[in-house]
DNA sequence: ATTTTCCCCTGCCGGC
DNA sequence: TGCCGGCAGGGGAAAA
């Protein structure tokens, strides 16, 4: 599903193609996309706007116009944003919800099978810092996101570290997949109370988060299911996932069988040996396998 | 205040 | 073969 690396991949592809372009046509075929806003008002607010910058905040994709207004898009589960040099041909987007046309003839479609995705117009003059406050937290790839800062964000929280990292108001952009991967990288069990990691573990986790996000961005995101990048292509990160979706496979580090359960209503994958259980339960004897690295997985 | 639960929505998959 | 229940999970609202 689209998380920070997937949205960042799309952003990077749209930026050079849309910057300076003016929107000449908008069609919203699914009113739920812009709800509770009025479709006609949403469309007319976009016509004639020139794109100044294409940005990202957490999992939000942002088209910033020279008027100061901002179009925010969120892909949620199955949303797709697809740029084309020309208009989309009929049926090009199976679950089409909106089309944006630009002055050079190019187009951007928003497709979304599950219809969880949303679009908002943020009026000019809105202070974005204030706008995101309380809902969208730290950008994990920015300089301020240090191990100390991560520890501060988690301080006093008793919820599972997995749940806390999924909370967008704390750290923005992490989803189910990259949280599993980051916790594995840091040797931290997903059920550990968020505020009770050691200094060393916060450090490892901060590094793990950044490392996995950077690797994923370099790979163009993960196309496990429906994700496609801004040009309709698949990402390559799925081949580098170490634990997520790997239930029953050997851990790429130690060979122990990867476990799965539900944490925070989400399917959660971890290595029972590399990420020791907070209750101290022993790793079952016989679950170890000879050290072996899966194909396509770098240790 | 923080934490937990439920719900939104629909394609897809496994089981019968 | 076809029907159907259950699953997937980002995020927000309501409930605890």
Residues A99 and A191 in one domain: no
Indicate whether A296 belongs to any domain. no
Phi–psi pair at A147, nearest 5 degrees: -60, -40
* Proximity of residue A224 CB to strand B below 7 A: no
Q: Show which positions of strand C are touched by protein (CB under 7 A).
A: 7-12
Residues A119 and A222 in one domain: no
- Total domains, chain A: 2
Domain at A112, CATH number: 3.20.190.10
Residues A55 and A114 in one domain: yes
Number of H helices and number of E strands within chain A? 7, 10
User: Do the Cβ atoms of A294 and A252 come closer than 8 Å?
Assistant: yes
Q: Quick one: angle between helices A199-218 and A176-185, nearest 10?
A: 130
* Proximity of residue A157 CB to strand B below 7 A: yes
**What's the confidence (pLDDT) of residue A280?**
57
CA of A48 to C1' of B12 (A): 40
CA of A115 to C1' of B9 (A): 6
Cα pseudo-dihedral A190, A195, A199, A200, rounded to 10 = 0
Cβ-count burial of A147 within 10 angstroms (0-12 exposed, 13-18 middle, 19+ buried)? Answer: middle
| Max Cα distance, chain A (Å) | 66
Nucleotide at minimal C1' distance from the A59 CA = C10
Indicate whether A179 belongs to any domain. yes
* Proximity of residue A113 CB to strand B below 7 A: yes
Residues A199 and A175 in one domain: yes
Domain at A236, CATH number: 1.10.8.50
3-class DSSP state of A97? strand
Residues A220 and A244 in one domain: yes
CA of A122 to C1' of B14 (A): 44
Q: Could you give the residue numbers annotated as active site of A?
A: 2-3, 59, 266
Q: What is the DSSP string of A181-225?
A: HHHHHTT--TTSBGGG--HHHHHHHHHHHHHHHHHHHHTT---SS
Residues 65-84 in A having a C-beta less than 7 A from any atom of strand B are: 77
Query: Among candidates A1, A4, A3, which has minimal Cα distance to A141?
Result: A4
Residues A98 and A216 in one domain: no
Q: Which residue is nearest to nucleotide B11 (CA to C1')?
A: A113
- A153 prior amide bond cis, ω within 30: no
Query: Among candidates A61, A70, A83, which has minimal Cα distance to A3?
Result: A61
Indicate whether A112 belongs to any domain. yes
pLDDT tens string for chain A (299 positions)? 799 999 999 999 999 999 999 999 999 999 999 988 899 999 999 999 999 999 999 999 999 999 999 999 999 999 999 999 999 998 888 899 999 999 999 999 999 999 999 999 999 999 888 888 888 999 999 999 999 999 999 999 989 999 999 999 999 999 999 999 999 999 999 999 999 999 999 999 999 999 999 999 999 999 887 899 999 999 999 999 999 999 999 999 999 999 998 888 889 999 999 999 877 554 443 344 433 334 333 32
Structural domain that includes position A262: 147-270
* Residues recorded for chain A: 299
Residues A102 and A179 in one domain: no
Residues A82 and A192 in one domain: no
């Amino acid at each position: 599903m689209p998380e920070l690396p997937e949205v960042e991949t799309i952003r990077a592809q749209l930026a050079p193609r849309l910057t300076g372009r003016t929107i000449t046509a908008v069609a919203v075929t699914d009113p739920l996309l812009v709800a509770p806003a009025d479709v006609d008002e949403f469309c007319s607010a976009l016509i004639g706007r020139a794109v100044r910058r294409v940005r990202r905040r957490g999992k939000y994709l942002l088209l910033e116009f020279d008027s100061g207004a901002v179009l925010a898009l969120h892909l949620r589960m199955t949303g797709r944003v697809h740029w084309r040099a020309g208009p989309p041909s009929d049926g090009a987007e199976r679950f089409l919800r909106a089309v944006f046309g630009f002055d050079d003839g190019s187009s951007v479609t928003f497709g979304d099978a599950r219809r969880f995705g949303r679009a908002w117009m943020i009026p000019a003059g809105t202070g974005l810092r204030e706008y995101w406050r309380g809902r969208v937290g730290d950008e994990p790839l920015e300089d301020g996101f240090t191990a100390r800062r991560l520890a501060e964000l988690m301080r006093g929280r008793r919820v599972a570290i997995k749940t806390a990292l999924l909370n967008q108001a704390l750290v923005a952009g992490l989803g189910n997949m990259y949280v599993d991967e980051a916790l594995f990288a840091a040797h931290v069990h997903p059920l550990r109370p968020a505020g009770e990691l050691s200094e060393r573990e916060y450090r490892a986790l901060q590094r793990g988060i950044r490392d996995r996000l950077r690797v994923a961005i370099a790979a163009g995101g993960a196309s496990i299911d429906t994700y496609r990048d801004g040009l309709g292509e698949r990402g390559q990160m799925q081949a580098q996932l170490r634990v997520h979706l790997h239930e029953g496979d050997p851990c790429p580090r130690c060979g122990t069988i990867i476990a799965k359960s539900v944490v925070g209503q989400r399917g959660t994958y971890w290595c029972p040996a590399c990420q020791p259980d907070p209750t101290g339960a022993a790793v079952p004897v016989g679950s170890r396998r000879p050290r072996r690295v899966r194909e396509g997985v770098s240790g």
